[in-house]
Structure 1
Amino acid sequence: MSSTSSKSPVRLFNPAGLYDASANGYSHVGLVEAGVRLVFIAGQGGENEHGTLDPDFRLQVRQALGNLRTALAAAGADASDVVKLTVLIVDHSEERLHVFGAELEAALGQGAKPTCTLIPVPRLALDGMLFEIEAVAALG
């Protein structure tokens, strides 16, 4: 069972009776203490600050995770405050899942990962957009 730091208002874990999801880069359960501020981050794609998308899936994932970190920082949060992720992947495959997992590990570091739902989709908002990630974070 993995868990976040006891100082965080967020507790992430994989309870007994469910498979250990940490190997797949997420936790089954996220608990948030009462009295915290919630931060909702809109879906972040792989576009840079000028709106340009790289056609490479990995580079879009990396940019989207960077965009997510920027949005979190603007709200006074960081990766350890994230409770829930929703991920949308165009033409999802196991290969793309592994790319996402590796990039998520690089972006969020060691330790418990947020709860996460991955949704394969046929298309996203912009032509050429292959990846989008939204988040809910909790600030103590």
Structure 2
Amino acid sequence: MLEIDIPGHGRLCLKYIVSDYNGTLACDGKLFPEIDPLLRKLSADLEIHVITADTFGIAEKQLSDLPVKLVVLPQENQDHGKLDYIKKLGASSVASLGNGRNDKLMLKESALGICLLQAEGSNVLSLMESDIVCKSAKDALELFLNPKRLIATLRK
């Protein structure tokens, strides 16, 4: 668990990171190389879930030796599938990462929603529903290893 007191915002008590895969942790189905060690470090304190439509069909292979739970969603209603998933975990203890339109509801409902703006781009509606926008998955994941960055960004 990661607990962070944010002045004027309140206390974040995070148990989970729930992340989209393509466009967030990967590009064209391939995991960004710098993500592997970050997920390993973070898994000591947070349970990591990757939820995806697996557009390229290789997410399982790419994540097979990492300490993450992979969930592949059906093609229909992915936005609600992701929302339902974080609600089952307890949205108030979830930090979510995503970039696509189907991440919008998850980003909005999570205790902390982080939108990524990388090679695949970002859906503007998802960006508007996020608490933080990062230029890379590496930067986003490093926020949890350096919580004062979260405090600096979220404080009122």
Shorter-normalised TM range:
0.3 to 0.5
Instruction: Work out which of the two has the higher radius of gyration on C-alpha atoms and give 1 or 2.
Output: 1
TM-score normalized with structure 2 length: 0.30
**Which protein has the bigger helix share?**
2
